[in-house]
DNA sequence: GCCGCTATTGCGCTATGCGTAGTACTGTGC
DNA sequence: GCACAGTACTACGCATAGCGCAATAGCGGC
């Protein structure tokens, strides 16, 4: 849980944040992240993150059939996920503030 | 130069920011980063980052003898480094703003 | 039947940050 | 004079994350 996790683990946070809004499936998570501004996220990264979070016990999962294509594997937050989201969000905020401080001194 | 670099490459930015203030050597960079709030940075990571940035042509380097220990390898920004700092800082700001937006929606 | 869109999985690559160990120089205390 | 702590750097190997790419598969339109 040190901030080093944050250095690479921002995707986890982003994915959790998206799922907090509502349950979603991989393809849709990718779309929503890109719409939110993370245009460079690879689909494989998101699928990997979802599987990792699920394996870590932070997500629920259920499959839903679709009329417009193959089945969709929905993911949703459970209590563990919500806790992780809250704690990661806090860590992120602190880290971002630290970085902003560091960069702010450039102008002075 | 996509934002994916940022996901892991924040250390580069932090190191460049510290060096922008004044020339410095590895051991000192570590100290200053920790004082700035990045308490968990490993020394090996910083040394590695410095060597990588130097190899990439973003830093100058010169050795200075010291009275209080072994020699110090000082690093300083050159034009390439300053350009990289500026561009990374911009990318970081955009990325951080995006993440903050994503997280802000949690409360609504 | 083929193409494009939706949707997921698997494999291998690379870079990064980290831990640990090792080298080496200085000043202090015994 | 030597062990030791603090300073300063290097080298080796590890784990992991995100990425690119290919494969699979269902659907609708031409």
Q: Give the pLDDT score at A1.
A: 39
Q: Give the pLDDT score at B7.
A: 62
Residues B40, A101: C-beta atoms closer than 8 Å: no
Q: Give the pLDDT score at A2.
A: 47
Instruction: Sort residue A69 into left (φ over 0), alpha (ψ -120 to 50) or beta.
Output: left
CA B67 to C1' D16, in angstroms, rounded, equals 41
CA B70 to C1' C22, in angstroms, rounded, equals 15
Q: Is the pLDDT of residue B6 over 70?
A: no
Residues A40, B4: C-beta atoms closer than 8 Å: yes
Instruction: Give the chain A residue nearest B100 (alpha carbons).
Output: A93
* Domains with residue ranges and CATH for chain B: 3-101 (1.10.10.10)
Q: Give the pLDDT score at A81.
A: 95
Residues A100, B101: C-beta atoms closer than 8 Å: no
Does the C-beta of A53 come within 7 A of strand C?
no
Tell me the mean pLDDT in the region A13-31. Answer: 95
Tell me the mean pLDDT in the region B27-56. Answer: 94
Tell me the mean pLDDT in the region B33-61. Answer: 94
Question: Considering only CA atoms, which of A94, A68, A106 is closest in space to residue B99?
Answer: A94
Write the pLDDT tens digit of every residue in A64-104: 998 888 999 999 999 999 999 999 999 999 999 999 999 98
pLDDT bracket for residue B2 (50, 70, 90):
very low
**Beta-carbon contacts of residue A30 (< 8 Å; ≥ 6 apart):** A41, A43, A46
Does the C-beta of B7 come within 7 A of strand D?
yes
Q: Is the pLDDT of residue A3 over 70?
A: no
Q: Give the pLDDT score at B105.
A: 79
Write the pLDDT tens digit of every residue in A30-57: 999 999 999 889 999 999 999 999 999 9
In the block, tokens 């996220």 appear at A41
Q: Nearest by CB to A2, which of B20, B40, B99?
A: B40
Please tell me whether residue A77 adopts helix, strand or coil conformation.
Answer: strand
Q: Write down the H helix ranges in chain B.
A: 3-8, 10-21, 26-36, 43-55, 79-104
Identify the sign of the CA torsion A9, A15, A20, A26.
negative
């Amino acid at each position: 849980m040190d901030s080093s996790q944050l250095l690479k683990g921002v995707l986890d946070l982003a994915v959790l944040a998206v799922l907090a809004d509502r349950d979603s499936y991989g393809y849709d998570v990718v779309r929503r992240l890109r719409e939110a501004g993370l245009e460079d996220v690879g689909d494989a990264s998101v699928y990997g993150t979802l599987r990792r979070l699920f394996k870590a016990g932070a997500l629920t999962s259920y499959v839903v059939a679709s009329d417009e294509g193959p089945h969709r594997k929905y993911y949703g937050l459970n209590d563990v996920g919500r806790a992780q989201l809250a704690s990661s969000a806090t860590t992120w905020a602190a880290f971002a503030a630290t970085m902003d401080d560091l960069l702010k001194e450039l102008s002075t």
